[in-house]
Amino acid sequence: MAGSLPLHGRRVLLGVTGSIAAYKAADICSRLGKLGADVYVVMTPEALQFIGPATFRALTTHPVMVNLFEEPLTDRIAHIDLAQGCDLVLVAPATANVIAKMAMGIADDLLTTCLLAVPDSTPLLIAPAMNTAMWQHAATQTNMATIVSRGTECVSPGYGVLACKDVGYGKLADVDEIVTAVCARLNHVSDYKGIRVLITAGPTREPLDPVRYISNRSSGKMGYALAAEALRRGASVLLISGPTALVPPVGVEFVAVQTAEQMLAACLLHAGTCDVIVGAAAVADYRVEKASGTKMKRHEDESLSLRLIPNPDIIAALTATRSPRQFIAGFAAETDHVVENASRKLRSKGLDLVVSNDVSRTDAGFDVDTNEVTLHWPDGTIQELPLQSKLATAGAILSSIAAARSSISN
């Protein structure tokens, strides 16, 4: 039934700009349509160099507009009708050029004119795609901060091999993640309103000397997705993060740390004010007993021995000092015997939930945009979630936590 589709009756304006990733906009358009959305597409002239309007015309059954002076409507100006007649506006891919125009309020083609006419009450999402250097450039980051401060939401670019063969952040986010963000924004829930959530994310770094450290492959994406989703659902969010290349979601309270001991100190300082704690960080289990104050030199034919000592158990410290009202969840990143190890962690740490995943997989866990996790509950219930974007996974985890807290309070 059409009425049961999650985006039934919703009108979405999709802006497509001149990026090699423009071909993925066709998949986004198709997916939104299959979920029930009525999609209207506006392309920049540069986008025509990568994909033709006939593709989007076939997918949407609507005219695809490019020229600012096209007026297919007889009773209203096209760019005003497009901008003000939609429930959500999505620009995917969004180039550095279009982001700069959005920041400056430049309206020199149909798409940017539409964007300038979008009402403040209409959700505006962008999914950037560009070379790593362009994404990291101070001008782009300043422009991003400007448009985000005005209410634009960003589906952050992913990490990988780009079209130019560079490796880094800048590739268009996975289609799943973009579509999930649209669905989440149009089906808004505020079940975390009035709730304060503490989330730990990323790796920790344990120094060997001033230039070397022990760490792990955690990118922080899962923790940052949890923070973004909790914020969207009305929570007051504190994100305590080890070193990552990610930009904290605008609106969260952010604390940057390096080592496990620093993360523990930050958690203990703030935990007392929080209702929900989610330990998604990949904390180093060990640190060097005594780090060198100067760079250690290599000596030929000589081995190097390091004495490692255990780091503090952050999640155990939090459960030991918890208040009765707190809900505390932890993550278990495993490579073997996942269920057994996660269940053991659930019991030994006194947690309300453990989220486990097999990080030996190439499509889930570290460094990728997708995840497949299992939820382990104290009553022995095991809930498996499908492979999906980390944002979708974050939504499912937070929904399960909200339901568990509600059943306890009732």
- Positions marked catalytic: 164
SS3 233: coil
Please enumerate in sequence order all residues whose Cβ is within 8 A of that of 342, keeping only pairs 6 or more positions apart, or say none: 332, 334, 354, 356, 374, 376
Rounded Cα gap, residues 175 and 155, in angstroms: 10
- Residue 351 phi, psi (nearest 5): -90, 160
Three-class SS of 194-214:
CCEEEEEECECCEECCCCCEE
Please enumerate in sequence order all residues whose Cβ is within 8 A of that of 80, keeping only pairs 6 or more positions apart, or say none: 117
Largest CA distance in the chain: 83
Could you tell me the two tokens for 108? Answer: 């020199």
Rounded Cα gap, residues 406 and 221, in angstroms: 27
Half-sphere exposure for 168 (CA within 13 Å, toward CB): 11
Other CB atoms within a 10 A radius of the CB of residue 363 amount to 10
DSSP letters spanning 312-377 = P-HHHHHHHT--TT-EEEEEEEESSSHHHHHHHHHHHHT-SEEEEEETTSSSSSTTSSEE--EEE-
Q: Which of these, 343, 333, 376, 27, lies nearest to 176 by C-alpha position? A: 27
Question: 211-232 burial, b if ≥16 CB within 10 A, otherwise e?
Answer: eebbebebbbbbbbbbbbbbbb
Q: Which of these, 307, 269, 262, lies nearest to 283 by C-alpha position? A: 262
Other CB atoms within a 10 A radius of the CB of residue 376 amount to 25
| CB-based contact 92:31 (threshold 8 Å) | no
Q: What is the DSSP letter of 401?
A: H
